[in-house]
Amino acid sequence: MEAVIKREFMLAGLCCANCAAKIEREAGKISGVSRAALDFAGQRLTVELAAPPAADVAAQVRDIVRRHEPDIVVTEAAAGDRQPSGPAPEDENGAARRVAARLGAGGAVFAAGLALPLFVSVPPVWRLGIFLLSFLLVGGDVVLRAAKGIIGGRVFDEHFLMSIASVGAFAIGEYPEGVAVMLFYQIGEIFQARAVGSSRRSITALMAHRPDSANLQTGGGWRVAAPEEVEVGDVILVRPGEKVPLDGVVVSGSSALDVSALTGESLPRDVEEGSEALSGSVNRNGLITLRVTKPFSESTITKILDLVQNAGSKKAPVENFITKFARWYTPAVVGAAALLAVLPPLFFGAPPADWLRRALVFLVVSCPCALVISVPLSFFGGIGGASRHGILFKGGNYLDALAAAEIVAFDKTGTLTRGVFKVTDIRGSEGWPAEKILAYAARAESFSTHPIAVSIRAAYGQTPGGEAVSAYEETAGQGVRASLDGQTVLAGSAKLLAAEGIACPPVSAPGTVVYLAVDGVCAGYIVIADELREDSAETVRALKAAGIKPVVMLTGDSRAAGEDAARRLGVDRVLAELLPGQKVEEMERLSGELSPRGKTVFVGDGLNDAPVLARSDIGVAMGGAGTDAAIEAADVVLMTDKPSKLVDAIRIARQTVRIARQNIVFALGVKAVILVLGALGLASMWAAVFGDVGVTFIAVLNAMRALRS
């Protein structure tokens, strides 16, 4: 399988969402490009190539962008880039002041043109001159852009539509309406740009958590270095108030770390010598030194920011629908406007000026910006808002799917329980005292990293001794086989012993039962109990209140342990003693219980549950802070060990989808009403401007609510 080559381009100054959709579509048609995704909120175009391209992709991207938006600055994003390059803030403010001054002057001339006839008699040519001057001040730049667009083959952009509508109004003698269209369009554009800019700043503020430097230990002391320069094994110093730049282990000092940027939790995390410190957290008080354990490209904060940054490239179905809808909506409405202007006067002898006015209303309303801006912005805002709460969605498609969740299945160990096991009971057959059972089990489990094995060794309390373990073999979900002192030892579930034809007495205990067999004979068993997380029961109740049914537990533990936990949590259904492959089969059976739009959700701890995480419609990994496997395997990552974060994730997903749908219904509804009223001659150009710019502005403001989820 050939590796996918990914290249990213920053589009500084991108402000037209309709143009953005066209740029994305045309970039996807470049030879060698398998996929193109443009994140309007982040001003980032990502193209994926299955093989090295025959032509210069960057040059073709710049050419496409230039045809649609000549003023955009296109730069290819180097590794580590997070922000689009563009004009400095003072340049933008200066440009905004010049536009405001021009609009103010044009508006004053427009007001004078309306007021003068009330006091003096104004000749028609003077009246035309006054409004024409006002029109040039207010909309001259729009007409110029429209002309450039026509030369470049862009007929249906908003500049062309507004220019035709304004010029048409002048052609039928409605000078004030011609100026009003441009004036209110420009004012609306200013407010719309401010709203979109505010949303972008709120989203990209997440990128401020990216560390910019590290205090690296050298032979001569300490020096400031870029995080990318630091290698695994290097020692770095983190002073109070500084961000931890890379993941590492504390080698000296102690402090409290603010991890809210990673987990959304305000409670600081205390660290001392030997503790793990995650990049992106803030050192609140003490001076600490760390030994780096991961390069910057693989650090926790880098992965989180990459997920948030690239989430916009995985679009929700409704986003893709709006993009396709916009391609047909504008030409259809423009065609209807042409027919409306021509057919009634031609066949019914109706007054041409009146029907031309109605057609101009159609032109103004035909721009789809309200939809192509607000819907993607809603999903990006939902993703950004969720990330501030320690919930990472890998794309809008997963957020949309989670909103339709009907069945939630949990892994037990480490998800609904703490995953911290303690030996609670040891029983041996005749001639096998408890101490001997524990010693054999601890030695057999000496190479395993499973939490149960760790708990057995902890209960043994000493490093397993005796002859070295040989012929060690671990079977996922069942246990281990090892050779100790010339004896064959099995330590694991009843299934492991049954597969070898070893009979063992059935044990019903509230915990996990680990059987021990030596040379084909059952020697006894160890009972290990796990503690439920504080908010697990409340999570199950909240999910049921949100309409999730059934809530299921899939566990590899014994039936007794699974049923005991399910009873205490209020889980609807528990399936125990499952191997990883059997969990996948059970998820497939659960899928058969869904409604047509319903989705299945599986929540696990990342690594052991990777197959079932991949099989479910939405895989949710819990406790992702510092867990690489969780971030890689799942569609959604909860950065804390609280299962209640899943309830927050579902709430955010549903609210985001609800906001996107509100914008669709509102925008299409208002436009449809104005189109009908315009065709009947009951809607003015002023109403048409509101149907375009006003609706877009309101929809963008509504989309910004998703950021505050």
Asked whether residue 481 is domain-assigned, the answer is: yes
Give me the pLDDT at residue 86, please.
Answer: 44
What distance lies between CA 600 and its chain's CA centroid?
19
Within a domain: residue 11?
yes
Asked, for residue 131, whether it belongs to a domain, the answer is no
End of a domain among 531, 563, 596? 531
Q: What is the CATH number of the domain that holds 23?
A: 3.30.70.100
State which residues of the chain have pLDDT below 70: 1-3, 41, 52-55, 78-95, 154, 156, 192, 195-196, 198-209, 309, 312-313, 464-468, 606-608, 624-631, 709
Range of the structural domain that residue 482 is part of: 418-531
Looking at the domain assignment, is residue 473 inside a domain? yes
| Residue 12 covered by a domain | yes
Residue 330's pLDDT is: 79
* Beta strands 235-238 and 288-292, pairing class: antiparallel
> What local confidence, expressed as pLDDT, does residue 603 receive?
93
Q: Which of 484, 516, 531 corresponds to the end of one domain?
A: 531
In a domain, 35, yes or no: yes
In a domain, 491, yes or no: yes
pLDDT at residue 605, as a whole number = 78
Would you say 337 and 366 are in contact if contact means Cβ atoms under 8 Å apart?
yes
Here the tokens at position 691 are 């149907």
Give the CATH number of the domain where residue 436 resides. Answer: 3.40.1110.10
Rounded Cα distance between 346 and 355, Å, is 11
Instruction: Give the chain's length.
Output: 709
Q: CATH code at 284?
A: 2.70.150.10
Q: Are strands 470-475 and 479-484 parallel, antiparallel or unpaired?
A: antiparallel
Q: What is the pTM of this model?
A: 0.76
For residues 675 and 677, give the distance between their C-alpha atoms in angstroms, rounded to a whole number: 6
Which of 531, 556, 571 corresponds to the end of one domain?
531
Alpha-carbon gap, residue 460 to 437, rounded angstroms? 10
DSSP assignment string, 15-78: --HHHHHHHHHHHTTSTTEEEEEEETTTTEEEEEESS--SS-HHHHHHHHHHHH-TTPEEEEPP
Name the catalytic one among 39, 157, 258, 411.
411
- pLDDT value, residue 224: 92
- In 3D space, the residue among 64, 97, 61 whose CA is nearest the CA of residue 76 turns out to be 61
Q: Is residue 427 in some structural domain?
A: yes
Cβ atoms 513, 525 nearer than 8 A: yes
Question: What is the per-residue pLDDT for 89?
Answer: 46
Q: Dihedral, CA atoms, 142, 143, 148, 154, nearest 10 degrees?
A: 80
Is 411 considered catalytic here?
A: yes
The number of distinct structural domains making up the chain is 3
